[in-house]
Structures are given as structure tokens and as C-alpha cells.
Amino acid sequence: MISFVYRQSQADHTSFTKAKGNEVTALIVYIDDIVITGNNDEEISNLKVLLAAKFETKDLGPFRYFLRIEVARSNRGIFIFQRKYVLDLFSEIGMLGCKLEDAPMEVNHQLSNAMGDSLLIKSSTKDLTTHLNAVYCILRYLKSAPGRGILYSNQERLKIEAINDVE
């Protein structure tokens, strides 16, 4: 990819980008799968030709499932969700028939600060039970709407915000 004048991400060495002005093309590799995206259709087409010349490739069209993330497109934008993954998880752990929760956790629910193995060694059975109950509550919440996800609207400028209230 570097020989094709793409820049390798320092945070994720399987991610490559190429930018020319406002035009951006990105590629990510996971084992034998590749996702290409961007706003420059000509560059995407050229990249596919270059890759096909060096590797055996098959264009599967717009992706619908990658790394447990499902993608649905509509006239409103792109919606990403993990319905299949959530349902597979519940099937695997035997919770397909569990009761549902309206919220991922009770308001002002308190958990201890114990982390990792120390939780099992130093914590009382009551603390461990409290943590497990919180996990089950989150799982039952996920089961209540496995198709929840994120809509990237094509009607608005993308704005990502994060809030952290942890001290």
C-alpha cells in the first residue's frame, strides 16, 4: 500500500489512507478481507485494479458485514449495528429466552472499583454477585433491542461527541 502512495496508520497498521485535498480514500485489511471506502470513486477503482494485479481478489460490492458489524444503507444514510453478533452471543450463552431490561443499568448503581483478578481474590461474594448482576442487566438490555445501532445521516454534517463523567 505504501508503494501505491498510501499512508499507513501508526495506531492500526492494517489501515491505510490517501488524501488529495478534500478527497480521501481508505483501506483496512483484516486477514483475507479488505474494505475500501472514500469519496473519490476514481481512486477506489484504480486501487481495485492495482490490488487485482498483485493479488487474487474478488469484489463483493458494498459491504454488509465486517468484523461483527452489520451495515445497512438507505436514503437516510448508513446504519451500523450488531444484531447478528448479539443474537449469536445470546444463543451461545443460553440466554435467548431471558427477560428484557429497559435500561442498561439502574440509575446511580454503585459498583466497587476492584479490577481484574483482584476482584475474584479480594472481593467478597456479595461484591462479585453485584458485578455479575450488573453484567446480566446489560445483557438483558442488549437483548431487548439487538438491532440498535448508529445512523450516519447523509442529511447532516457528521459530528461525533463523547462525554466522560468518570473522575
The one-digit pLDDT tens for each residue of the chain (167 residues) are 888 899 999 999 999 999 989 999 999 998 888 999 999 999 999 999 999 999 999 998 888 888 888 999 999 888 999 999 989 988 998 988 888 888 887 777 677 665 555 545 455 555 677 778 888 888 888 888 888 888 888 877 766 666 666 65
101 & 137 share domain: yes
43 & 92 share domain: no
15 & 56 share domain: yes
Task: Supply the range of the domain harboring residue 32.
Answer: 2-61
Report the number of distinct structural domains present in the chain: 2
138 within some domain: yes
Q: On the CB side of 97, how many CA atoms lie within 13 Å of its CA? A: 1
111 within some domain: yes
Contact 85, 67 (CB under 8 A): no
138 & 103 share domain: yes
55 & 97 share domain: no
Which amino acid is located at 61 in the chain?
Answer: G
89 within some domain: yes
- The pLDDT of residue 113: 66
96 & 53 share domain: no
- The pLDDT of residue 143: 86
What distance lies between CA 127 and its chain's CA centroid? 30
CA–CA gap between residue 50 and residue 43 (Å, rounded): 10
- The pLDDT of residue 32: 84
pTM above 0.85, yes or no: no
- The pLDDT of residue 147: 84
68 within some domain: no
137 within some domain: yes
CA–CA gap between residue 53 and residue 37 (Å, rounded): 19
12 & 48 share domain: yes
- The pLDDT of residue 162: 66
22 within some domain: yes
- The pLDDT of residue 43: 94
Comparing CA positions, the residue from 61, 51, 25 lying closest to residue 40 is 25
- Give the three-class secondary structure for 133: helix
CA–CA gap between residue 167 and residue 48 (Å, rounded): 47
76 within some domain: no
- The pLDDT of residue 166: 60
93 & 138 share domain: yes
97 & 135 share domain: yes
20 & 54 share domain: yes
Other Cβ atoms closer than 10 A to 51: 17
114 within some domain: yes
97 & 47 share domain: no
Cα-Cα end-to-end distance for the chain: 42
- Give the three-class secondary structure for 32: coil
56 & 109 share domain: no
- The pLDDT of residue 70: 93
